[in-house]
């Protein structure tokens, strides 16, 4: 059994390779153009996103940083298909999310997105194993292959001996590793994480960080929001946001016109 947290083994993922630099042939997993999102509040509307642009290429590990309230989670939610922009374009794996209804977004999430939250969002009444089996069952995978994949993931992530335990018996770092195993259950195109180390002590944070590094070296595309400098340092590229926009793309500039107008994006077939 492999303890994923303490070996150099990377989680394998077929066909994915890290991508560097701007390359015309680059395979973009995420494309956000001119995204606006305003939340109506009793007092005054909150303009959470004000023309955000972002590209993430297949195999990239991108960290997003910025002051609290600058729109990081809102941007992540648009890419996850959990929310929709008021204006602008969002695509994941060449699927135009802005043209999808709730049902289509749910299907897109199941097939392309694995999400990791700050507070784990585990199913506490179920075993560790069932937490990883469940997303595959929901996606229509039969129990046996779902369990086999879940056991493999738990082994890879160093939780194989915890399969029958309740999540509550795990340490913080182990709980977040379980949440990551669950996010990987359906072999997502993209792993999204919102402050994945925010609720962990430094040891738990390091465990989770090491896991993200290994996932990335195995070719997994990762986009995470963090306040944690070591997490940002581990990423291949750091994107900075401010006031609802990406102000520094960290080296992969989207194809946006100088006046802020976005270039037309071909509608996916
Ligand atoms: P960050 O992740 O950078 O801290 P958020 O994207 O969470 O920022 O929030 C940006 C702004 O939008 C904040 O002022 C926040 O309070 C507001 N906001 C986010 N989600 C909602 C919502 N569902 N309803 C109302 N306001 C929201």
Q: Is the CB of 68 under 6 A from ligand 1?
A: yes
The per-residue pLDDT for 82 is 94
- The pLDDT of 151-158, averaged and rounded, is 90
Q: Which ligand 1 atom is at minimum distance from the Cα of 67?
A: 3
Confidence of residue 24 (pLDDT cuts 50, 70, 90): low
pLDDT at 149 over 70: yes
- Residue 11 pLDDT level (bands cut at 50, 70, 90): very low
Q: What is the DSSP letter of 97?
A: G
- Give the pLDDT mean for 178-201: 91
Percentage of the chain beyond pLDDT 90 is: 66
Q: Is the CB of 39 under 6 A from ligand 1?
A: yes
Residues 6+ apart with CB under 8 A from 215: 10, 11, 180, 184, 191, 222
- The CB density around residue 233, as the number of other CB atoms within 10 Å, is 10
Q: Which of 7, 6, 1, 12 is nearest to 217 (CA)?
A: 12
Task: Supply φ then ψ for residue 163, to 5 degrees.
Answer: -50, -40
Q: Supply the Cα-derived Rg of the chain in whole angstroms.
A: 18
Q: Is a pLDDT exceeding 60 seen at residue 217?
A: yes
Rounded to an integer, what distance in angstroms lies between the CA atom of residue 33 and that of residue 151?
39
Is the confidence at residue 172, as pLDDT, over 50? Answer: yes
- To test the ligand 1 pocket, which listed residue (73, 227, 247) has its Cβ within 8 A of the most ligand atoms? 73
How many Å apart are CA 238 and CA 48, to the nearest integer? 20
Nearest C-alpha to atom 5 of ligand 1 is from which residue? 71
Q: Coil, strand or helix: which one is 118?
A: coil
Q: Check whether 40 has a pLDDT greater than 60.
A: yes
Instruction: Considering only the C-alpha atoms of the chain, give the largest distance between any 2 of them, rounded to a whole number of Å.
Output: 57
In this predicted model, which residue has the larger pLDDT, 11 or 110? 110
pLDDT score recorded for residue 9: 43
Contact 51, 260 (CB under 8 A): yes
| Dihedral pair phi/psi, residue 224, rounded to 5° | -130, 150
Can you tell me the distance from the alpha carbon of 28 to that of 237, in angstroms, rounded to the nearest whole number? Answer: 15
Helices (H), 163-201: 172-183
The whole model's pTM is what?
0.85
| Ordered domains of the chain (ranges, CATH) | 58-80+103-248 (3.40.50.300)
Distance from Cα 46 to the centre of ligand 1, integer Å: 8
Compute the distance from residue 249 Cα to the ligand 1 centre, in Å: 21
List helix spans (H) across the chain.
Answer: 72-80, 102-112, 128-138, 143-156, 172-183, 202-217, 229-234
Using CA positions, which residue lies closest to atom 23 of ligand 1? 39
């Amino acid at each position: 059994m492999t303890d994923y947290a303490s070996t150099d083994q990377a989680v394998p993922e077929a066909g994915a390779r890290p991508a560097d630099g701007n390359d015309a042939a680059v395979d973009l997993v995420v494309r956000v153009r001119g995204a606006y999102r305003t939340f109506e509040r009793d007092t005054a509307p909150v303009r959470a996103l004000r023309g955000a642009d972002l590209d993430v290429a297949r195999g990239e590990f991108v960290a997003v940083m910025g002051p609290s309230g600058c729109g990081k989670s809102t941007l992540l939610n648009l890419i996850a298909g959990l929310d929709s922009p008021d204006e602008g374009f969002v695509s994941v794996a060449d699927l135009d999310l802005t043209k999808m209804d709730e049902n289509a977004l749910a299907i897109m999430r199941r097939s392309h997105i694995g999400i990791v939250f700050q507070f784990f969002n585990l199913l506490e009444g179920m075993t560790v194993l069932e937490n990883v089996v469940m997303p595959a069952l929901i996606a229509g995978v039969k129990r046996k292959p779902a369990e086999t994949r879940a056991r493999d993931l738990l082994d890879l992530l160093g939780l194989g001996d915890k399969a029958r335990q309740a999540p509550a018996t795990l340490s913080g770092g182990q709980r977040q590793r379980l949440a990551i195993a669950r996010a990987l259950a359906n072999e997502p195109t993209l792993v999204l994480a919102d402050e994945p180390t925010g609720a962990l002590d430094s040891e738990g944070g390091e465990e989770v960080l090491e896991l993200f590094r290994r996932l990335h070296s195995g070719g997994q595309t990762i986009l995470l929001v963090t306040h944690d400098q070591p997490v940002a340092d581990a990423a291949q590229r750091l994107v900075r946001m401010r006031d609802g926009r990406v102000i520094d793309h960290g080296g992969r500039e989207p194809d946006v016109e100088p006046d802020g107008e976005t270039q037309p994006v071909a509608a996916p077939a």
